[in-house]
Amino acid sequence: MVHYIRFLRAPQCDASKKTVGVSAVLAVQTDLSDALLSQDVVLRAEIVEANSPWRVLHSQSLQWQPTSRALKFTIQCPGKYTSWPIQLHVTTQQTQSAVNLSEIPEILDIWSCAFLLSDKQRSEPIVERRLALWNNTTVRIWEDIGESMARHIWDASLGFVMYLARALSSSPPSGGGTLAALVKSGKVRKLKVLELGAGCGIVGIAFAQLVKCDMYLTDLDDAQEVLGKNIRCASLMAGSTLQADVLDWSSGLEDSTNPNFDLILVSDCIYNPDRSVHLVEILRQLAARAPNTLILVGFKRRHEADTVFFEHMRKTKFEIVESTNIPLPHRPSDYDADTPTTEFYTYRRQTVV
């Protein structure tokens, strides 16, 4: 299971004469926040300059224990940095090693938003995740501290980034060849790509940083603010464009919706059987306008009800042209022995003869 360092309480400063205390409360949890890491791990809390090159000004080790439910801490930072915009970064040594190798870590680190050590207010309840891609760009994703469905990243999206790394490598393994061939064809004509239920936009943004494309990130109204922020932080491949829009599967497609998508990405969107019906209907409408559209669905199996989506896809005459499983990073423990996987299915609409 991947674990995420989360702030249960955003950082807050308390200045004395010589030092500034930066306090926060964190937990190391799963993506659904339904389980805590039950292992010993040494965390490193760093006070970092808020702008590149993000120099570490001060750091302190913290101990997360198998029985920890929350970890309250204060870092005493030298007072000389009071007027500098800083971020609080909490990470592990293993996380940094994975990031240096452009791999997805077992424990995702966290970056607070920027604040001044002289601020009295608690910092804003948004945080940043950073994933290093193998083309030397970093996907920077802001997410909410709270429990919103759309405004934080999900395990399947990490599996998706791993899938893209494999499928777009010089020798794609089985299960990624169709996407690789499409991307190759896009070298002649820029690809038009749509992401449905994009949430914070991690999958579509990673894609647009790796492949020249026009990327349309769509979700409900609830996700638009965070999508806009993440679009502004993207380091796009030269020639790529990114835009976000509302597309509610239950409202159907508008006539003005751009019809000619080469590829549609769907990450972790099939967990709700009622919504799956609307999702398949939107896919049907899109495929009716562009019959060659490739649809790439990635998800982490959690419920029996996940099968509803596949059943509707079959009935709607979508055929699976490729499938593969990608294991997620995992540290086995007594309560968490099985390696979690993300499943990927590549679909095309069957041609009616």
Ligand X SMILES: C[S@@+](CC[C@H](N)C(=O)[O-])C[C@H]1O[C@@H](n2cnc3c(N)ncnc32)[C@H](O)[C@@H]1O
Q: Do the beta carbons of residue 323 and residue 288 sit within 8 Å?
A: no
Task: Tell me if 139 contacts ligand X by CB under 6 A.
Answer: no
Task: Tell me if 275 contacts ligand X by CB under 6 A.
Answer: yes
Residue type, 43: L
The Cα 13–Cα 105 span in angstroms is 29
Q: Closest distance between ligand X and the C-beta of residue 200, in Å?
A: 6
* Summary count for the chain: helices (H), strands (E): 7, 18
Judged by CB under 6 A, the residue of 26, 269, 295, 313 near ligand X is 269
Task: Tell me if 142 contacts ligand X by CB under 6 A.
Answer: no
Q: Closest distance between ligand X and the C-beta of residue 132, in Å?
A: 18
Task: Tell me if 156 contacts ligand X by CB under 6 A.
Answer: yes
Judged by CB under 6 A, the residue of 106, 214, 262, 268 near ligand X is 268
Q: 47 vs 131, which CB is nearer to ligand X?
A: 131
Q: Closest distance between ligand X and the C-beta of residue 93, in Å?
A: 26
| Rg for the chain, CA atoms, rounded | 21
Judged by CB under 6 A, the residue of 11, 175, 176, 197 near ligand X is 197
Torsional sign, CA 274, 278, 279, 284: positive
**Part of the chain binding ligand X (CB under 6 A), chosen from 198-206, 209-217, 283-291, 340-348:** 198-206
Judged by CB under 6 A, the residue of 5, 153, 242, 244 near ligand X is 153
Judged by CB under 6 A, the residue of 77, 145, 162, 198 near ligand X is 198
Q: 202 vs 328, which CB is nearer to ligand X?
A: 202
Pairing of strands 241-246, 56-64: unpaired
Task: Tell me if 87 contacts ligand X by CB under 6 A.
Answer: no
Torsional sign, CA 285, 279, 144, 239: negative
Q: In a 3-state reduction of DSSP, which class is residue 273?
A: helix
* Phi, psi for 89 (deg, rounded to 5): -115, 130
Q: 250 vs 339, which CB is nearer to ligand X?
A: 250
Q: Closest distance between ligand X and the C-beta of residue 244, in Å?
A: 12
Burial of 144 (0-12, 13-18, 19+ CB in 10 A): middle
Q: How many residues bind ligand X (CB under 6 A)?
A: 23
Task: Tell me if 260 contacts ligand X by CB under 6 A.
Answer: no
Restricted to residues 299-338, the positions that interact with ligand X (CB under 6 A) are none
The Cα 262–Cα 152 span in angstroms is 27
- Token pair of 175, please? 């299960």
Q: 2 vs 150, which CB is nearer to ligand X?
A: 150
- Token pair of 31, please? 């993506």
* Phi, psi for 256 (deg, rounded to 5): -80, -5
Restricted to residues 209-238, the positions that interact with ligand X (CB under 6 A) are 219-220, 222-223
CB atoms within 10 A of CB 269: 23
Task: Tell me if 64 contacts ligand X by CB under 6 A.
Answer: no
Task: Tell me if 158 contacts ligand X by CB under 6 A.
Answer: no
**Part of the chain binding ligand X (CB under 6 A), chosen from 53-61, 65-73, 105-113, 243-251:** 243-251
Q: 54 vs 310, which CB is nearer to ligand X?
A: 310
Question: Nearest-CA neighbor of 61 among 88, 90, 104?
Answer: 90
Q: Closest distance between ligand X and the C-beta of residue 340, in Å?
A: 14
Starting at the edge strand found earlier in the chain, the sheet holding 71-78 runs 71-78, 19-29, 3-15, 107-108
Residue type, 264: I
Q: Closest distance between ligand X and the C-beta of residue 158, in Å?
A: 9
Binding site for ligand X (CB under 6 A): 149-150, 153-154, 156-157, 197-199, 202, 219-220, 222-223, 247-250, 267-269, 275, 278
